[in-house]
Amino acid sequence: MTRIEKFTIERFRQFEKETKLQLDPVTVLIGANNSGKTAVLQAIVVFQYCLEKCLTRNNKNSGAATWHLKKTENVRPDEFGALPVASPTDLWPQGRPKPGQGIRLSATFEGGGSISFEIKLQFNLFNVRPTVEGVDDLDALLSSFGIRLIPVFSGLLPREEFLVLPARQERQQALRYGEIVRNLLHSLKTEAPQRFKLLIDLLHRLYPDVHVDVNYDEELARRIASARIASEYRDSVLTQHLDLIVGGSGLHQAVQIFAGMLQPGISMVLLDEPDAHFHARLQSTLMRILTELAEREGLQMVIATHSPQILRAAPPSSLRVCRDNSLIPFNPGPDQLELLEHLGVFERMELLPLLQSRRVAFVENRDDRELIEIFLQKQLGAKTEDLMRRITFLHTYQEPVSAGVLAKARQVNDILKDPSLSALGLSGNASFVAVGDRDYRTEAEMKREELTHSRKAKQQGYGFDFRLFLWRRAEIENYLLDIDAMTRAVAETATKLGLKTSWRKLRPEFRKFVLSQIGEQRDAITERFAARIQDRDRGLNLTTAMGRARQTLSSEWGDGTAWCDAKVVLSSARQFLQEHGLPAQALSHSNILQAMSEIPDDMKSLIRALTRLAGAATKKPQQGQQQPRARRKP
C-alpha cells in the first residue's frame, strides 16, 4: 500500500499559511472544537478528489495503458463533489479567495516523490492544476493508493437497491454511507471474500454474540426489478434472522467503518469521531483494532477524536496537537503517558487544556474538585467557569505530601517542556497549586510542609512556581459542617415541600443530633491522631502519643467541626432527615453552601490562590509592541 509521509495544506479553510502534517501509519488528531481537525480530513479528501478528476489513461500505439495526470482540469461548482459547500468560496480562508492565490494541497510519499494540486477560481470554475515531482512510476504509485473519509453513522436506509461501483463511489464521496452499507458488505463478500471474513472477525471482537451477513440474488434481480440486497442480523436475544437495521447504533457504526475501510483499493482511511455510538470500553478495543489493521493490511489511518479511550489506546508517537492552525507531534514516552493517565488527564480529556494553560491544581480526587468548584461558584459566581477553564485539575488519590506531589509536579513540568510544543507557542515552566487533607498534622507541621515544598520547587532540578495548601480542617467536607447553614438548608427544602411546621418542631432535635454526632467522635479522633503521631516518630510509645494528641485537641477541638469525620456526620444527618420524613437531598453540598452566609476563611485563601494561578501566565508582547520600561532607582 502507498502511504503518505507528509501532507501540506495552504489557503484551505482556517489553514491560511502553509501547514505541514507528519503522518504515521496511525495518526491521531487532538484539539479543541474548531481547532482544525476536521478541516485536515477535508483537505485530504479534496486531494483525493482532485487526483481522481485529473487522472486519465494514456494508451498510445496499442501499448499497455498507463496512468498520467492532465495538465489542468476545470470543474463547475455544482459538479464539485469533494465536499458539500454552500458557495465555492467556502473552501478558502474567511470564504474570500485572493487574486492569483489558490488552495494548495500536497502529499509527499514514503520512499520519495510528491503530488500537489493547486485549486483556483477562474470564471466561476474550479481550476485544478497538478504537479508531480520525483515520481518515476505513477502507475505503481497509484495502483495501491486510495483515500476514503468515513463519517459518523447517521442512519441506515430501510432497503437498498444493488448499486454498481461508480454509484457506490459517488455516495461515498458525498459521505452518504447510510445508503450503501449493505452494498459495501455485498461487494466485500463477492469481490474480496477474505476481507469479508476479516470484517466478520473484527465485528466479533466488538460484539461476540452478533451474526451479520448479506445476500443478493442476481438471478432474481434479472427477473424482478424491485429486488433488493438483503442483510441478516442475529444476536444472543433474537432467535431468527432480521434485517441489519434492527441492530444498535454502535453495531451500525462498526459495520460502516469496517465495510468502508476494507474495500479493495483503499490505502488511507480518514475517521472523524469513530468513537461515536460506542461504549467507552469498546472505544479502546476499536483503537487497538485500527492499529492492528494498519500493521496487518498496510492501511494508513488518520483519526480525529475527543475520546479519552481512543487517546489512551493510541500508539504514543501518533498524537498530533491541533492549535492555532498548527499541527505538531506530541510524543510523550510510555512512562509519561502512564503518569498522565494515573493523574486523570485522559479520563476527563484534559490533555489539551493542560498543554495550553500550563496551570495545574492537584487535588485528591474528583469529589474534592467538584466541591472546590461549588465553593468557587459561591464566592465568584459567573467568573467560576472562566477560572475552571484556565486550570487543569489533576488527581493525587491521597493527601498530597504522602503522594509525593512535588515529584509529580516536576514530571508534569518536564512533559510540558517538550521542545515540540514550542512550535505551538507553548513553552516555559508550568505553575502549580496542590491542596489536600492535613492528615492530623499540627499547625506548625503544616506550615513547615508548605514552606519546604515552596522552597524546594524553586531549587535547581525543579524551577517552577508551586504552592502547597493543606486544609486547616480534617478534610474539605469539614468546611460544610456549619450547623446554622445546615439548618437553613433543611428549612428551605421543608418549606418547598409544605413541611415547614413539622420542621420547626424537629429543628432543635436535629441540631442536638448533629452536635452529638460530632462530640461522640472525640475519643476516636484522639486515637487516630495518636497513631499518626507514632507514625511520624517511631520512638514514641502509645501513652506519650495519646498525651500529645489530647493536649493538641484540648486547645484546637472547639466545637469539633474542624477535626471530626465530616463524611460520617453528614451521612448520619441525612439519615436522620429521612427517618423523619424529609429528603436527604436537603443536605446536598450545594444546598448547604447556598445557605451559608459566608464561606470559611481557609476556603477564601484557597480561592485567592486559584485565582492567582489562573492568571499566572503572562502574554508575550506582540511583534512591534514595546516592553514596559523599568523604573530607574532613585
| DSSP secondary structure of 561-625 | TTTS-HHHHHHHHHHHHHHTT--GGGG-HHHHHHH-SS--HHHHHHHHHHHHHHT-SPPPPPTTP
Where is pLDDT greater, at 379 or 77? Answer: 379
Higher pLDDT, 233 or 435: 435
Measured distance CA(512)–CA(510) in Å, rounded: 5
Check if the beta carbon of residue 320 is closer than 8 Å to that of residue 30.
yes
Tens digits of residue pLDDT in 19-44: 999 999 999 998 878 888 999 999 99
The answer to whether 565 and 521 have CB atoms below 8 angstroms apart is yes
Domains of the chain: 1-146+265-331 (3.40.50.300), 157-164+173-249 (no CATH), 333-472 (no CATH), 479-599 (no CATH)
CA atoms within 13 A on the CB side of 574: 16
* Mean pLDDT in residue range 428-443: 89
Decide if pLDDT at 232 tops 80: no
Report the pLDDT value the prediction gives residue 621, as an integer from 0 to 100: 35
Q: What is the DSSP letter of 178?
A: G
pLDDT at 451 exceeding the cut of 50 = yes
Given a contact cutoff of 8 angstroms between Cβ atoms, the answer to whether 433 and 469 are in contact is: yes
Residue corresponding to grid cell 504522602: 402
Q: Is the per-residue pLDDT at 630 higher than 50?
A: no
pLDDT at 424: 55
Average pLDDT of every residue of the chain: 86
Give mean pLDDT, residues 271-285: 90
d(CA 172, CA 146): 12
Mean pLDDT over 111-130 rounds to: 89
Rounded Cα distance, 562 and 622, in Å: 49
Mean predicted confidence (pLDDT) in 208-214: 88
Of the two residues 100 and 74, the one the predictor is more confident about is 74
> Cell 483499493 belongs to which residue?
265
Cα–Cα distances (Å) from 82 to 106, 147, 172, 365, 407, in that order, read 16, 12, 10, 47, 51
Describe the strand order of the beta sheet including 147-150 as a list of residue ranges: 147-150, 268-272, 300-304, 26-31, 319-323, 326-329
Beta strand 73-75 with 359-363 is: unpaired
C-alpha cell at 80: 464539485
Q: How confident is the model at residue 329 (pLDDT cuts 50, 70, 90)?
A: confident
SS (H, E, C) 181-212: HHHHHHHHHHHCHHHHHHHHHHHHHHCCCCEE
In this prediction, residues 338-366 reach a mean pLDDT of: 77
CA distances from 608 to 218, 391, 514 (A): 75, 14, 31
pLDDT in tens, 523-557: 999 999 999 888 888 878 888 989 988 988 888 89
What is the enclosing helix (H) or strand (E) of 354? helix 351-357
pLDDT per residue as tens digits for the range 472-484: 999 999 999 999 9
pLDDT tens digits along 569-622:
999 999 999 999 999 999 999 999 999 999 999 999 999 999 999 885 433 334
Please tell me the predicted confidence (pLDDT) of residue 632: 43
* pLDDT reported for residue 128: 92
